[in-house]
Structure 1
Amino acid sequence: MKRLLLILTLLPSTLLAQHGIWRELGPTHPPENAQMRPETFTRIKGTGRLAFVEFDTRLPNRIFTGSPSGGLFISDDRGVSWRNGGTDFFWVPGVSHIQVAPESSSTWFIANGDGDADFSFSLGVARTRDEGQTWEWINGIEESLPFTDLNKPWKIVRIRKLLIDPRDGNRLWAATTEGLFLATNALAKADQIRWKKVASGVFYDLCFQPASMGRVLLASGDGLYRSRDGGFQFEQMTLPDEFGFQKDDLPVKQLTIRISPADPSTLWVAYTANEGHSSRKFNAELYSVDLDSEQWSFVRAFGKDLGVQRRLGHGRSQAFAVHPTNPDELYWEMC
């Protein structure tokens, strides 16, 4: 195996002393949410934890971010200033992910709610065609995407991640706790959109394999899946019996996947396990997979002293990245 560089990022107070100076870009303004209870608003103290950072390749100065409590925020000057994305007055204002249509920088798709933990549930996928001025739900009617029914709040659905075809904005995937879903007409009128379940299971993550021209997709959650036909059908990949994923007795298991365009045949798989909400037991391990031979390699386990278990597991927004041009350089968040 090539030499691997792991860079474990620290909380800001520690980072200032040991690893250079970081500065906060924002957003810092709390949401103007009429639906949020006062005690909840006080607890989050502003925007809340941020779940993602995404970009629009056509607009290099634009940055998207969002949180389970603060909703969607956009910067058009590389983080100098921020504006609200129009989600403040949703019944559930949280946003767990966003994708931009390749046809227009004004058309966005968001996954509603908290995709990682128990702060809020999801009401589905929403779409804007005017940069967040107005939104519409595109959950479908006859062939629909699963979402939380407010009349049945005990049956909670979460959507962790969206993936759009960079060549065709009609093709949109949603990784949910009720399966992996695909819409092939995501740009149609809201009442005409149809969703199809393409894989069963609990899903948290998905991506294209670079250099596959959109033909190969990878998805993960409580298992690892691969599609070789452009995302219409998925097969579950076999996990080695000797690894922690198969041996752990912790009930909540999650696989997070990352891949670098510089090495499209190597998939990095971060495994975490815990007991769910307020868990006191954690486990975290890192693997690599050769996608050509399907050969797995154990890289390392993360001890409790690093705190990685808490930062990659329940409610921690997949805090793991691989460098786009140096595939042996990985970044983790830690306590």
Structure 2
Amino acid sequence: MAEKVLVLLGTKKGAFIAESNAARQSWKLRGPFCETWPMNHVVADQSTGTIWGAGGNEWFGPAVWKSTDLGETWTHSSEGLAYAEGEEPIKAVWSLAKGNGSLYAGVQPAGLFRSDDSGQSWQHIDGLQQHPSRPHWNPGGAGLILHSLVLDPDDQDRIWIGISAAGVFYTGDGGATWEPRNLGTRADFMPEGENYPEFGQCVHNLVMAPGMPDRLYQQNHCGMYRSDDGGKRWVSIEKGLPSTFGFPAAAHPRDPETLYLVPLNGDSAGRYVPDAKAAVWRTRNGGREWQAMRNGLPQENAYIGVLRQAMATDRLDPAGVYFGTSSGALFASADEGESWVNVTQHLPAILSVETLVVD
């Protein structure tokens, strides 16, 4: 039985940890950690409890922080987190993923690194930079960032990534070669007749369904999509949602048909929840139908946004669901989204939310 649940928060001013027991009825907040560096993504190894934080900016440079005692103490390293001399310097680490004995890091400008020693040193996976489309990648609003890292839990050579605004790319050989996987996803900002390019889409978030490595869900700048063949083809699942625009997506820990979203009102209409009424939208059938979950969420003057990595689930039963806002509030549900509580507010802008269940 779970002893406690940790919600790991990356913010513009360090990492924070919200902690509760398995009931998830009351919470204690710890932090800020990582010397208040901007922390874009904080993740954990569910098997060992090790926590890593991806951070940095133009002033600090890139680094990955690490804690082996549930956040009590931290160290950091940037060894190897650099491109070749003469190339544009790395500004920050934007995403992390642990799997198959390695730790992966996505950086800005977009590139992929791997560590085989738990984040102490890094090697550049340069096959991605060598893709022929690379000279034509354009930055999204936050820059040219590799923000989504999806690893096949059963095959260490299969990796999917999301880059704003280059799209989804896939490797089946551990990163030596890559191919774009964007068929069926729109790019409404492109000239008429060029709305479905091979690459250049502004993917916002990419997640894998549990137990089905070839089922992927994608929140895009221009719609919500599902793929059942590893991204070779995408189908729209936005019907029934209040908007085609949003950033985060979170998969249920056991049910591949269940997904959670926080749609926003559009890219040029303020980027807050529609009608300023907060809701998490849930599907129980792979996106064919959607339901707004509002119980406990603010329904008046809620001009909040939720960023691309700021939503997660835990592995308990019933599953917990969590999201953090760009105005520094964390909301939690201990019943799969049926009801919500405000865990904390007035934090720095929350950039990422992940969970760790300690047995």
- CA distance in 1: counterparts of 2:248 and 2:140, whole angstroms: 27
Gaps of 5+ in 2: 1-6, 19-25, 83-88, 186-200, 330-344, 346-359
- Structure 2 residue 281 is the aligned partner of structure 1 residue 287: yes
> What letter corresponds to residue 107 of structure 2 in structure 1?
N
- 1:51-62 superposed matches below 5 A: 51-58=40-47, 60-62=48-50
Match of 1:26 in 2: 33
Superposition TM-score, scaled by structure 1 size: 0.67
- Post-superposition shift, 1:259? 2.0
Match of 1:249 in 2: none
Match of 1:110 in 2: 105
Gaps of 5+ in 1: 1-6, 29-45, 114-121, 188-192, 247-252
Match of 2:156 in 1: 169
Alignment CA distance shift 1:317-1:73 (3 Å): farther
- 1:7-156 superposed matches below 5 A: 21-24=28-31, 26-28=33-35, 46-48=36-38, 50-58=39-47, 60-69=48-57, 71-86=63-78, 90=82, 91-102=89-100, 104=101, 107-113=102-108, 122-130=109-117, 131-140=119-128, 142-143=130-131, 146=134, 156=143
- CA distance in 2: counterparts of 1:52 and 1:147, whole angstroms: 27
- CA distance in 1: counterparts of 2:104 and 2:285, whole angstroms: 30
Alignment CA distance shift 1:144-1:225 (3 Å): farther
> What letter corresponds to residue 175 of structure 1 in structure 2?
G
Give a deviation string over 1:159-189, Cα, whole Å, max 9, x none.
21111111222111111121110011126xx
> What letter corresponds to residue 34 of structure 2 in structure 1?
P
RMSD (Å), alpha carbons: 3.9
- CA distance in 2: counterparts of 1:134 and 1:110, whole angstroms: 9
Give a deviation string over 1:119-143, Cα, whole Å, max 9, x none.
xxx2411223344324324243653
Match of 1:218 in 2: 217
**Contact 1:98/1:109 (CA < 8 Å) preserved in 2?**
yes
> What letter corresponds to residue 219 of structure 1 in structure 2?
Q
- Structure 2 residue 181 is the aligned partner of structure 1 residue 181: no
Match of 1:299 in 2: 293
Higher helix proportion (structure 1 or 2): 1
- CA distance in 1: counterparts of 2:252 and 2:142, whole angstroms: 36
- Post-superposition shift, 1:280? 5.4
**Contact 1:128/1:136 (CA < 8 Å) preserved in 2?**
no
Alignment CA distance shift 1:93-1:327 (3 Å): farther
Alignment CA distance shift 1:287-1:61 (3 Å): closer
Superposition TM-score, scaled by structure 2 size: 0.63
- CA distance in 1: counterparts of 2:169 and 2:211, whole angstroms: 23
Over the matched positions of the two proteins, sequence identity in percent amounts to 16
> What letter corresponds to residue 287 of structure 1 in structure 2?
W
In the TM superposition, structure 1's runs of 4+ consecutive aligned residues that sit over 6 Å from their partners are 147-150, 152-155
- Post-superposition shift, 1:47? 0.7
Alignment CA distance shift 1:147-1:219 (3 Å): farther
- CA distance in 2: counterparts of 1:332 and 1:204, whole angstroms: 16
SS of 1:61's equivalent in the other structure is coil
**Contact 2:262/2:273 (CA < 8 Å) preserved in 1?**
no
Match of 2:180 in 1: 197
- Post-superposition shift, 1:55? 2.0
Match of 1:270 in 2: 262
- CA distance in 2: counterparts of 1:111 and 1:147, whole angstroms: 18
> What letter corresponds to residue 26 of structure 1 in structure 2?
F
> What letter corresponds to residue 225 of structure 2 in structure 1?
Y
Give a deviation string over 1:45-91, Cα, whole Å, max 9, x none.
x412x222222244x13111112525321112222221213269742
- CA distance in 2: counterparts of 1:261 and 1:134, whole angstroms: 29
> What letter corresponds to residue 43 of structure 2 in structure 1?
E
Match of 1:4 in 2: none
Q: How many pairs align?
A: 273
- CA distance in 2: counterparts of 1:123 and 1:164, whole angstroms: 17
Match of 2:86 in 1: none
Match of 1:40 in 2: none
Match of 1:31 in 2: none
- Post-superposition shift, 1:155? 12
- Post-superposition shift, 1:153? 12
- Post-superposition shift, 1:156? 4.8
**Contact 2:253/2:319 (CA < 8 Å) preserved in 1?**
no
- Structure 2 residue 319 is the aligned partner of structure 1 residue 325: no
**Contact 1:173/1:180 (CA < 8 Å) preserved in 2?**
yes
**Contact 2:171/2:179 (CA < 8 Å) preserved in 1?**
yes
Alignment CA distance shift 1:88-1:168 (3 Å): closer
SS of 2:243's equivalent in the other structure is helix
- CA distance in 2: counterparts of 1:239 and 1:83, whole angstroms: 42
- CA distance in 2: counterparts of 1:24 and 1:226, whole angstroms: 37
**Contact 2:42/2:51 (CA < 8 Å) preserved in 1?**
yes
